[in-house]
Amino acid sequence: MVKSKVLFACRECGASYPKWQGQCATCGEWNCLEEVKVSQKQKKSGVAAGVGFSGSGTEITRLAEVKLESSQRILTHIHEFDRVLGGGLVPGSVVLIGGEPGAGKSTLLIQMASEIARDLGCVYVSGEESIQQIASRAIRLGISDREVQLATLTDVGHVISLVEHTKPTVVVVDSIQVMHSDEIESVPGSVSQVRECASELTQLAKQTGTIFVLIGHVTKEGNLAGPKVLEHMIDCFVMLEAPIGSRFRMLRGIKNRFGAVNELGVFAMTDRGLREVANPSAIFLERTTEPTAGSVVTVTWEGTRPLLVEIQALVDDVQGGYPRRVSVGLDTQRLAMHLAIMHRHCGISLADQDVFANVTGGIKVAETAVDLATLIAVYSSFRNRALPHDLVVFGELGLTGEIRPVPNGQERLREVQKHGFTRAIVPLANKAKKPFAGVEVSYVPTLSSALDVLNEILTG
């Protein structure tokens, strides 16, 4: 009989301790240690410490002597998905896709499986739905005639036996939180079970070259459920975001060992499943026919492509108490910092005003290239002056009031030109060597000069 030992593992970082304590000394989180029963077999293999596949070789090899084997990526034939993955699925890789309930994770992956199954072996393993439920969804999506192999399993050992017997190219596991291993004496979904199951599937992927696509649950805070070490073990982690009240879905790359991170794919949820959006900028630019105060278009860079989005701002008198600074899709602390910069270097005070900022379409923008556009929208709402529809603004704002350059400035201007915008305010350091036909570009070095150019546009 295999002996077991009790440890306490952190659900955030995976660190283990011999006894319970209030704070994890590794990541600093409080009340995050959970009791884990670890067998001696598991402890010796290193899985209890969160170690993934380490191979079996003991010899040291020089980097220059390593011979690389070129591997052909497996296309999912869903172009937006392939874009986020960096060009397709890599043999032997493990991909984790997370998202809130109802976002469309299972729908997207059954569509992917049906496309891959046309030419290669693909197994869809579900631990949450019956085969009849999966078939019912496939009929609704119009893909019931595809050669996808289905299985309903929750024992990771049975999944491994199935893969070794059928030798498929791609295996979809829905979901990793319901899988369990007989080596662990805890319930499915616990820290030790999720870590052990992910470790065994990762080892199998590296040894056989099989591609595993795992579905992961999320917590109420929107983070991936389970130990944080799970994100370190896999090769690619993507999140399917579903803005409240919107039929659009954003597939965002969080981690990718074989491609660019922060890549964005856009889908529309229909009665026939998820459909790709070929021109994402168009859905984020559904503006009113008449120009309105507090609205301006900017160009943000998502992964490897530019994306046009609308920034809206509303400035209103304080209705008692302290002035509020609220932003949706933007960093609220950065918004407050920008207002201080405008006061210090341009003499415009909003101390008695509430300021609200929003990125339309439910998209979240993290890069600093939208700084100038955010302040331009705030200034427009404060002065109650509508900005022209053909104006695009981008640039990073420094604490000294200077407009700093942004990456890929020329590509952003080409996107502006392609969508028919005729005026742009951009950083001076992003000045192009050749003019852009049909676009009047104003290059500005400081925030005050940008507001001067804007006033000329408004009065002209």
Residues forming beta bridges with residue 444, ordered by sequence position: 427
pLDDT digits (tens, 9 = 90+) for 355-380: 999 998 888 898 999 999 999 999 99
- The predicted structure's pLDDT at residue 55: 53
> Distance (Å, rounded) from C-alpha 124 to C-alpha 428?
53
Q: Are 123 and 157 in contact (CB under 8 A)?
A: no
Which segment of 57-61, 149-153, 335-339, 379-383 scores lowest on mean pLDDT? 57-61
- The predicted structure's pLDDT at residue 72: 85
Residue 39 — very low, low, confident or very high, per pLDDT cuts 50/70/90?
A: low
Query: Which residues 6+ apart lie within 8 Å of 3 measured at CB?
Result: 39, 40
105-116 and 131-141 are packed helices; what angle lies between their axes, rounded to 10 degrees?
A: 80
- The predicted structure's pLDDT at residue 458: 86
Q: Are 205 and 164 in contact (CB under 8 A)?
A: no
> For 142-160, what is the mean pLDDT?
90
Residue 160 predicted with pLDDT over 80: yes
Residue 243 — very low, low, confident or very high, per pLDDT cuts 50/70/90?
A: confident
- The predicted structure's pLDDT at residue 255: 93
Across the chain, mean pLDDT equals 88
- The predicted structure's pLDDT at residue 228: 76
pLDDT digits (tens, 9 = 90+) for 266-314: 999 998 899 998 888 877 777 777 888 999 999 999 888 899 999 999 9
Residue 330 predicted with pLDDT over 70: yes
- The predicted structure's pLDDT at residue 281: 82
Residue 53 predicted with pLDDT over 60: no
- The predicted structure's pLDDT at residue 1: 46
Residue 96 predicted with pLDDT over 60: yes
Query: Which residues 6+ apart lie within 8 Å of 155 measured at CB?
Result: 179, 180, 181, 182
Which segment of 54-58, 81-85, 438-442 scores lowest on mean pLDDT? 54-58
- Prediction pTM value: 0.79
> Distance (Å, rounded) from C-alpha 145 to C-alpha 147?
7
Query: Which residues 6+ apart lie within 8 Å of 186 measured at CB?
Result: 36, 37, 192, 193
> For 116-129, what is the mean pLDDT?
93
pLDDT digits (tens, 9 = 90+) for 196-240: 899 999 999 999 999 999 999 887 777 777 777 788 899 999 999
> Distance (Å, rounded) from C-alpha 54 to C-alpha 64?
20
Could you give the percent of the chain with pLDDT greater than 70? 93
Residue 180 predicted with pLDDT over 60: yes
> For 142-151, what is the mean pLDDT?
86
- The predicted structure's pLDDT at residue 3: 56
> Distance (Å, rounded) from C-alpha 435 to C-alpha 255?
37
* Higher per-residue confidence, 141 vs 228: 141
Structure token pair of residue 40 = 């001696």
Angle at 86 between CA 146 and CA 123, to 5 degrees: 25
